[in-house]
Chains A and B, each alone.
Chain A
Amino acid sequence: MTTEPKLDIVSLNIRYGEKAALRNLSLSIPSGSIYAVIGPSGSGKTSLLRSITLLSVELDQARLSGKILLDGRDVLAAGVDRATLRRKVGLVMATPQPLPGSIHHNLTFGPRLAGQTQRQELDALVEAALRSADLWAEVKERLNGPASALSGGQQQRLCIARAIALSPEVILLDEPCSGLDPISTAKIEEMMRALQTRFTWVIVTNNTKQAARVSDRTAFVLSGELIEDGPTSRIFTTPTDPRTTGYVEGRFG
């Protein structure tokens, strides 16, 4: 554990006007792992993810202080190019959000803006991303069909494939399975594990069982504060804080 963390969050504060969404939060997310952030809704988990890619700053008028170090470089420093940052750090929303247009268009939207214009390269990229997200077999016949025609679970895997198509280093998932059935959920969890070495995953979830199933490390956040974090097996068996015990045992939240 002496290697430098992929994502190092140091004393992060997120405020919306007068309201603090996250207070003095510090997390170290190791490279090539699955990191779960659990906690009841309203505890600031989504704000955390939206802040890592500066989306909260751009759209929600959030004010951030502290440090978000990606490979040691502060995302909050002046002069950080947001587009470059977002190509490195993918974000998948809670409800599947395909863009209007075809499956192919959804996958090539990002790469095209990043400067990829060769039709063949794009096609290869589409196939690779869909294979990674375990969706290729289901959609290869209808790549030019509307993405909105896919089922909810397929749409969410499409959204993950869309993030993968940009070859990110980190993928942030915001309760990716909250609206999905158990089978779709299992597919996404399998996929995360299969791709664990390629990306660093951060998954925010309300579902403690999901965190226990997929993640290597877990952080428990309550009302904007980090209660404790550590290896998932320890958090779920011998947590040090009584509030964590209460939450993972399902006594509140």
Chain B
Amino acid sequence: MSARLFTPVRAQLVARAVLWSMMSLALGILALVLWFVLRRGLAHIDWAFVSTAPLDSGRGGGIFPILVGTLEVTLLGVATAAPLGIGTAIYLAEYTKEGRLTRAIRFGSECLAGVPSIIIGLFGFVLFVTTLRLGWSILAGALTLALMTLPLVIRTSEEALKSVPTAYREVALSLGASKWQTMLGVVLPAALPGIFTGLILGLGRAIGETAALIFTAGSSLPHQLPRSLLDGTRTLSIHFYQLAREGISADHAYATAAVLVLAISFINLSSSFAMHRFMRRYG
């Protein structure tokens, strides 16, 4: 009887149903989060909110300096992590043989990935804010974010480089390219979509980071646009945290959260669009 119950066809049906439910649950949770944030936040977003400075601790006004500061910290952070991470990945994937050294580097990078962001923040505070005297600043925050996103960039770039067919390398070398020319002219362009995806993931993670930035970029409310990288800033997620925790304004807290969610969605969508275009042209 039980043998009959699970015929291959039925097992297939059950598997499909179970997998589909898992997928819809995962997607449903995402949709729920989005709905929850956007429903409460969207109503309070208007042009004035995103284009003016905050007033009265954030009860009034908008978030313009915060938005700009967030973008500066995040972009600068990822832009710093990118060359370091890609360089490390090229070294690991192309310029060393598998051995104790590469395993040690990889292990170290995994460990760095596992360090809680508040600890990274503390480290950033000690190194950048006090020792290097950068103060609570965009620069200190960006460098801290770079440390945080570095493992991800290394990992994804290395995978991307390794997935480039060996034959490309053989062909390029056979056509008289040096190792570095092969790297630059063939391997790196072929790996670029994968590397780019890693950078975007890093960006998505960095833009929402809170704990690592409280100690490094600062949390005092900016009333005007940052004039230099040594100015402090408050990022969107810290602003949200302050508004919500201190009970300053739930409406503005959710509006800030909604802007953050929209910004992340925009980055993801536009970058995947850009990548598709790139892939089609590069083919």
B residues within 8 A CB of A114?
A: 176
Please report the C-alpha to C-alpha distance between residue A102 and residue B280 in the assembled complex, in whole angstroms: 11
A146 & B169 in contact (Cβ 8 Å cutoff): no
B167 & A113 in contact (Cβ 8 Å cutoff): no
B190 beta carbon closer than 8 Å to chain A: yes
Closest to B177 in A: A113
Q: A110-B175, A110-B176, A166-B176 are in contact. Are A97 and B283 (CB under 8 A)?
A: no
A55 partner, pick from B174, B178, B185, B190, beta carbons under 8 A: B174
Q: A99-B186, A100-B190 are in contact. Are A93 and B177 (CB under 8 A)?
A: no
A residues within 8 A CB of B190?
A: 100
Question: Measured between C-beta atoms, what is the minimum distance from B47 to chain A in Å?
Answer: 44
B175 & A146 in contact (Cβ 8 Å cutoff): no
B residues within 8 A CB of A95?
A: 167
A residues within 8 A CB of B282?
A: 100-101
A148 partner, pick from B173, B175, B283, beta carbons under 8 A: B283
A residues within 8 A CB of B172?
A: 99, 109
Please report the C-alpha to C-alpha distance between residue A59 and residue B177 in the assembled complex, in whole angstroms: 14
Please report the C-alpha to C-alpha distance between residue A146 and residue B170 in the assembled complex, in whole angstroms: 20
Please report the C-alpha to C-alpha distance between residue A59 and residue B182 in the assembled complex, in whole angstroms: 13
Q: A100-B190, A113-B185, A148-B283 are in contact. Are A55 and B170 (CB under 8 A)?
A: yes
Question: Quick one: which of A95, A99, A159 has the most chain B CB within 10 A?
Answer: A99
A80 beta carbon closer than 8 Å to chain B: no
We find that the number of chain A residues with CB closer than 8 angstroms to chain B is 28
Closest to A54 in B: B173
B171 & A58 in contact (Cβ 8 Å cutoff): no
B283 & A146 in contact (Cβ 8 Å cutoff): yes
A residues within 8 A CB of B167?
A: 93, 95, 97
- Complex interface bits, A131-166 against B, C-beta within 8 A gives 1, otherwise 0: 000000000000000101000000000010011001
B residues within 8 A CB of A99?
A: 168, 171-172, 186
B283 & A93 in contact (Cβ 8 Å cutoff): no
Please report the C-alpha to C-alpha distance between residue A84 and residue B175 in the assembled complex, in whole angstroms: 10
Beta-carbon contacts under 8 Å, A93-138 to B: 93, 95, 97, 99-102, 109-110, 113-114
Please report the C-alpha to C-alpha distance between residue A148 and residue B176 in the assembled complex, in whole angstroms: 22
A91 & B185 in contact (Cβ 8 Å cutoff): no
Beta-carbon contacts under 8 Å, B157-199 to A: 165-178, 181, 185-186, 189-190
A residues within 8 A CB of B168?
A: 97, 99-100
A90 beta carbon closer than 8 Å to chain B: yes
Closest to B171 in A: A97
A86 beta carbon closer than 8 Å to chain B: yes
A87 beta carbon closer than 8 Å to chain B: yes
A83 & B177 in contact (Cβ 8 Å cutoff): yes
Closest to A89 in B: B174
A215 beta carbon closer than 8 Å to chain B: no
A166 partner, pick from B165, B173, B175, B189, beta carbons under 8 A: B175
A162 & B170 in contact (Cβ 8 Å cutoff): no
Q: A109-B185, A113-B185, A148-B283 are in contact. Are A55 and B171 (CB under 8 A)?
A: no
Beta-carbon contacts under 8 Å, B35-51 to A: none
A residues within 8 A CB of B283?
A: 100-102, 146, 148
A59 partner, pick from B173, B176, B178, beta carbons under 8 A: B173
Question: Measured between C-beta atoms, what is the minimum distance from A231 to chain B in Å?
Answer: 30
B174 partner, pick from A90, A101, A148, beta carbons under 8 A: A90
Q: List 20 A-B contacts (CB under 8 A).
A: A55-B173, A58-B173, A59-B169, A86-B173, A86-B174, A86-B175, A90-B174, A93-B170, A95-B167, A97-B171, A99-B168, A99-B172, A100-B186, A100-B282, A101-B282, A101-B283, A109-B177, A109-B185, A113-B176, A114-B176
Q: Measuring CB to CB, which residues of chain B are less than 8 angstroms from any residue of chain A?
A: 165-178, 181, 185-186, 189-190, 282-283
